[in-house]
Structure 1
Amino acid sequence: MEKSKVYFTNLRTKPGLNLLDKLERLIKKAGIEDIDFKNKFVAIKIHFGEPGNLAYIRPNYAAKVVKIIKELGGVPFLTDSNTLYTGRRANAVDHLDSAFENGFNPLTVGCNIIIADGLKGTEYREIEVDGKHCKTAKIGSAIADADIVISMNHFKGHEMTGFGGALKNLGMGSGSRGGKLEMHSASQPKIKEKNCKACKQCIKSCSQKAINLNENKAASIDYSKCIGCGQCVAVCQFNAAQVVWNESADTANEKIAEYAYAVIKGKENFHINFIMNVSPDCDCFDSNDLPIVPDIGIAASFDPVALDKASVDLVNKAPIIEGSILTDKHYHEGEDKFNHVHMNTNWETGLKHGEEIGMGNLEYELVTV
């Protein structure tokens, strides 16, 4: 199999060539202009960052990508799906407020912001993947309905998958709340009775009629009927319907790859990794720890598997930042940095599965721009 090409630029600048110029030069060299954007809806999948976390991609970079897509005739919008956990991005109203707070709005980025899976995370399309773990994937409607998908990914550590890059942003990030439940858990949801307000929203939303109020006037799930779709988790505003966090890291990584495959299945797609502010944990936390390595650069490719593999290789070749979590964990030269930070994870499983299902290639050629 021919190696995939991953294009890379460092962060050195000079008068007349700033980082936004370098981003434009990079993605054009990588071939983004080869995509037929004319009059097509373009979902730019990005993570808006949990307020309080400052490691997310700056809106200026998104604005540059939007401008290029518009010049090529496309109709771009920035998008993300709601979170499964209860936070400031768990519904579309709070999610949009958070995006605006972090600088993502039509004025700054030049296009509209759309929360892909709707107000409560229940608007999705089921896309057939017939995978090892998932027969279908529940993808946020706005992403599923788009003609083209561009992912802009902050490359950093992740407590469940080892690192988060293109596959994580595409797969977990595009799943509806029910889809995120499927990726996170091998079990059906549970009810925490003391949180239940007997509002009956979970009962109304359950397609299997598996939920009723018990003698304590709290929701109760009939597990003989429950199919684990996660709609009760999605609509519960009181954190009573909860995920059972019991999926293994390897299985979760493979499920994420299958969801990422569903997102780009049959569509033109292109991916950009920002290997900077490489914090040890996900941008879903409301804070970000000291990066584990110095800022490295930006990479782009049509192949998300090769892109993530090249990015992790670049991080593993970089020196550590003294005083970061790697110092605390007694890192030794030559060890895999992400597996050292999160010792119960194995990022290789997700990339290998992505290659197995035809998303891309682990073998790559790094082309410096």
Structure 2
Amino acid sequence: MEKSNVFFTDFRTKAFGDGLPTKLKNLIRKAGIENLDMDGKFVAIKMHFGEMGNISYLRPNYARAVVDVVKELGGKPFLTDCNTMYPGSRKNALEHLECAWENGFTPLTVGCPIIIGDGLKGTDDIAVPVEGGEYVKEAKIGRAVMDADIFISLTHFKGHEMTGFGGTIKNIGMGCGSRAGKAEQHSSGKPTIVESKCRGCKLCLKECANNGLSFDPETKKTSVTENCVGCGRCLGACNFDAIVFKDRAAIADLNYRMAEYTKAVLDGRPNFHISLIVDVSPNCDCHGENDAPILPNLGMFASFDALALDQACADACLAATPLPGSQLAENMAKADFVDHCDHFSNSRPESEWRTCLDHAAKIGVGSREYELIKVKTRK
């Protein structure tokens, strides 16, 4: 496969000159976003609104910059993300929107509507075939994400406790999965009912198409039966966090499925991708806290190739110097430190990211070969 173009600019600005949002606008124009025919088209801009208590997520100003460019090109943009699998501030659309608003994402600040892609309870999804999929035949993607004519990802590139880093593929593949889709990627088994939390409301039974759940009228509790196929549909139906998946997929399997979900989202429609290496926390933005950055703020990247973008961002991080006082620096200073020659593995030795990019290349998400084009936008 030919090399893909990845465009890059740093975070430097001149005193009394243009700010970073303007710099981001210039970057994505240089990268060719204007080649997309957006006139009158619905444009989904997928990003992470941050968990409550975490302040390392991308600021709304960056989202507004992308929205402004899309609107200038005649598009009808909306910001979107799908509900989370785990209990937190974003497991249903009401709490998700409140979290987004508290973190500064409102129609007024970002200049467009905010739509939770998989609906109120995380059950409004579409089964999307995965061409060439080896682990996922049909991905469960939020309906609003798939209804859009054009797809744009806006990613905060940071560390991750399982997948090494959270980049563009994770933002798309995991982020666009409905609650059931996230369960499919994360889990290798069937759900468990936490009896102390089960209210006996039977809402989960309405979502189960396989007679995988049984309600006991005497105990007023629900249990999982042998017919359960582990689809995760019941997860979104429970309002009380009584349904959990304990059998976590191996990291390689998680990476494979995430890559295949990404392919399902992107295939068949125009797409464009932006990734910012800033506030590189060691863990996911889904945490209710954020640790000190492990690496310096390296720059903004953009490409039509989601895989090449992740590879370019990973390479930039691996070439950077760890920040003093960070988790990464502390790990490297330990007497028993084993150098993995990889900042992400040195920060979280249990994590692994290369299988994701390998598989994404194998199934045709994009190319790991790229040409980095530096854009001078400081004025």
Give the 5 Å matches for 1:92-131. 92-130=93-131, 131=133
CA distance in 1, matches of 2:344, 2:153: 22
Residue of structure 2 aligned with 1:201, choices 175, 200, 203: 203
Closer/same/farther in 2, CA of residues 260 and 204 from structure 1, 3 Å limit: same
Amino acid at match of 2:9: T
CA distance in 1, matches of 2:127, 2:113: 24
Structure 1 counterpart SS, 2:7: strand
Q: Provide the residue aligned with 1:317 in structure 2.
A: 319
Give, in angstroms, the shift of residue 365 of structure 1.
0.8
CA distance in 1, matches of 2:94, 2:45: 19
Give, in angstroms, the shift of residue 327 of structure 1.
2.1
Contact 2:340 2:346 in 1 (8 A): no
Amino acid at match of 1:48: F
Residue of structure 2 aligned with 1:299, choices 294, 298, 301: 301
Give the 5 Å matches for 1:256-295. 256-295=258-297
Closer/same/farther in 2, CA of residues 17 and 334 from structure 1, 3 Å limit: farther
Residue of structure 2 aligned with 1:218, choices 197, 208, 221: 221
CA distance in 1, matches of 2:17, 2:243: 54
Give, in angstroms, the shift of residue 334 of structure 1.
7.9
CA distance in 1, matches of 2:36, 2:238: 41
Give, in angstroms, the shift of residue 316 of structure 1.
1.0
Residue of structure 2 aligned with 1:138, choices 137, 140, 155: 140
Structure 1 counterpart SS, 2:140: strand
**Per-residue deviation, residues 46-89 of structure 1 (Å, max 9, x unmatched):** 00000110011110111111111011010000000000001110
CA distance in 2, matches of 1:7, 1:201: 48
CA distance in 2, matches of 1:245, 1:75: 41
Amino acid at match of 1:350: C
Give the 5 Å matches for 1:127-276. 127-130=128-131, 131-214=133-216, 215-223=218-226, 225-276=227-278
CA distance in 2, matches of 1:127, 1:233: 19
Gaps of 5+ in 2: none
Contact 2:190 2:247 in 1 (8 A): no
- 2:3 is the alignment partner of 1:3: yes
Contact 1:249 1:344 in 2 (8 A): no
Q: Provide the residue aligned with 2:17 in structure 1.
A: 16
CA distance in 2, matches of 1:289, 1:154: 15
CA distance in 1, matches of 2:296, 2:213: 50
Q: Provide the residue aligned with 1:328 in structure 2.
A: 330
CA distance in 1, matches of 2:9, 2:288: 29
Q: Provide the residue aligned with 1:56 in structure 2.
A: 57
- 2:361 is the alignment partner of 1:346: no
Give the 5 Å matches for 1:70-85. 70-85=71-86
**Per-residue deviation, residues 288-330 of structure 1 (Å, max 9, x unmatched):** 1000011111000001111001101111111111110012212
CA distance in 2, matches of 1:39, 1:253: 35
**Per-residue deviation, residues 6-35 of structure 1 (Å, max 9, x unmatched):** 100001101332211211111011110000
Between the two proteins, what is the percent identity of the paired residues? 52
Structure 2 counterpart SS, 1:122: coil
CA distance in 2, matches of 1:10, 1:290: 20
CA distance in 1, matches of 2:91, 2:199: 19
Structure 2 counterpart SS, 1:76: strand
CA distance in 2, matches of 1:145, 1:310: 30
Structure 2 counterpart SS, 1:168: helix
Give, in angstroms, the shift of residue 43 of structure 1.
0.2
Structure 1 counterpart SS, 2:21: helix
**Per-residue deviation, residues 71-124 of structure 1 (Å, max 9, x unmatched):** 101000000000000111000000000000011110000000000000000000
Q: Provide the residue aligned with 1:360 in structure 2.
A: 366
Contact 1:81 1:117 in 2 (8 A): yes
- 2:48 is the alignment partner of 1:42: no
Give, in angstroms, the shift of residue 209 of structure 1.
2.4
Structure 1 counterpart SS, 2:332: coil
Gaps of 5+ in 1: none
**Per-residue deviation, residues 247-281 of structure 1 (Å, max 9, x unmatched):** 00011011000001111110100000010000000
**Per-residue deviation, residues 313-354 of structure 1 (Å, max 9, x unmatched):** 111111111110012212688820111122122201111111
TM-score by length of 1: 0.97
CA distance in 1, matches of 2:46, 2:12: 26
Amino acid at match of 1:174: C
Contact 1:198 1:218 in 2 (8 A): yes
TM-score by length of 2: 0.95
CA distance in 1, matches of 2:329, 2:23: 32
